[in-house]
Chains A and B, each alone.
Chain A
């Protein structure tokens, strides 16, 4: 972890990716430009503020910025395009209506939008009671689709870059840590269900998740 100063008053934390402990040598993407990330976060906050004032063009721009990762998340959890579309639309509508309640001190716009999307998606799969089947159907076999006609957009490039960083960071986790976190995050399983899945004590699962997420936190940038 390094601390550099982009301006005399604002220290920015930079996380350097590391190789998994079991692999002495690995490919590490180029270090993320933290100033760009911070500026992107601020721009999204500005768009949300404009939405709070009723600026519909701000909503369109925020959609351009976040719809890809949010839709991908919704689809990853539900494995259903209609559900994913409904969820993304609902999330953006909720952000449109609740924009004035957003507090920058409680996290990034991306974090807020992701939480809303994930919660809605998990609610859907819990309603359908097909969690296990969906996990079996999707998971690692799902092939990412390209961004047709948008490969050169700033948003898609940013997502691709960050997705690579996150996938690499997850890859650095121990397999059982990675799997436990993915079951919780994408599968919406409870602690007890994960413990059952692994056939291990609950305390072990909690400790495993804790260690895995803390390691991810050290590896990933503070805010995407």
Chain B
């Protein structure tokens, strides 16, 4: 149903008399109203026919040639005026296809890269573990070497620390005796090795003495008895702390020893 107002607006529109907001409003209404659109198109044809009322004037013959030449001069305009909107769906499809291809390629590439990275990571983990093991082994080895070195150093220190003294015979029956005393001042212990020391009566004992300038009398290192072969190796420990060993002495004492040397000194070494 076309109202009289719509009819009037369609008429004015056909003659190009609508302007501004009135024109915009009418064209909006036109887009939504098929009947009004048909009426306006029909009135547009009528309006176009009015042009034939103009006195007919002949266009110059050169105008046609000029037009065709202008068409030749601007062939690229065909491209510029191409209905891009008609191609929009195809462009969209092409874009999507290109995008899908690109994404697919990227996916494959990234997947390969991911696989490579995983392999590299696994290799790195293996290498890391190997390195850790090697490091642990080397640590153990180093620790062992350090321990060995320490032991060696300690051994050397021990050797340096130890006081080794050969005791000489002072009595006529002990001329062939070979006695060596080794003293560890840190441990306050000593080792005595003896050969060819004359055997003594069962009622007697040899007694070891350590001469320390800190004491007035030699310090008792214990007693021992020599069997028939004359060989003996024994450890001894003084009954008082010894700060400095000036000499070792062995005396012949009564059985069980004495607190202070009484018998003859048979061996002495400084």
Q: Quick check: B57 and A85 within 8 Å, CB to CB?
A: no
Q: Which A residues have a C-beta under 8 Å from some C-beta of B?
A: 54, 56, 59-60, 63-64, 67-73, 75-76, 81, 84-85, 88-89, 92-93, 96-98, 100-101, 105-108, 110-111, 114-115, 117-119, 122, 142-148, 150, 159-160, 162-163, 165-167, 169-170, 181-182, 184-186, 188, 190-191, 206-207, 209-210, 213-214, 216-217, 220, 222-224
**Complex CA–CA separation, A158 to B63 (angstroms):** 21
Residues of B within 8 A of A170 (CB): 50, 53
CB contacts (< 8 Å) of B74 on chain A: these are 93
Ranked nearest first, the 5 interchain pairs of A and B with the lowest CB-CB distance are A144-B55, A76-B54, A97-B81, A71-B59, A114-B48
| CB of B67 within 8 Å of the partner chain | yes
CB distance from A2 to the nearest CB of B (A): 17
Residues of chain A within 8 A (CB-CB) of B47 are 111, 114, 185, 213
Task: Determine the chain A residues whose CB is within 8 A of the CB of B68 once the complex forms.
Answer: 56, 59-60
Q: Which residues of A contact B45 (CB under 8 A)?
A: 107-108, 111, 222-224
B83 contacts the other chain (CB 8 A):
yes
Mask of B17-59 contacts with A, CB within 8 angstroms, 1/0 = 1010000000000000000000001111111111111111111
Which of B15, B46, B63 has the largest count of A CB atoms less than 10 A from its CB?
Answer: B46
Given A85-B60, A93-B67, A143-B55: A216 in contact with B44 (beta carbons within 8 A): no
A-B contact pairs, 27 of them (CB 8 A): A59-B67, A60-B68, A69-B56, A72-B55, A76-B55, A84-B57, A96-B78, A97-B81, A106-B41, A107-B45, A108-B45, A110-B48, A111-B48, A114-B47, A118-B51, A119-B16, A143-B55, A145-B56, A163-B56, A182-B50, A186-B54, A210-B7, A213-B46, A214-B11, A214-B43, A220-B46, A224-B49
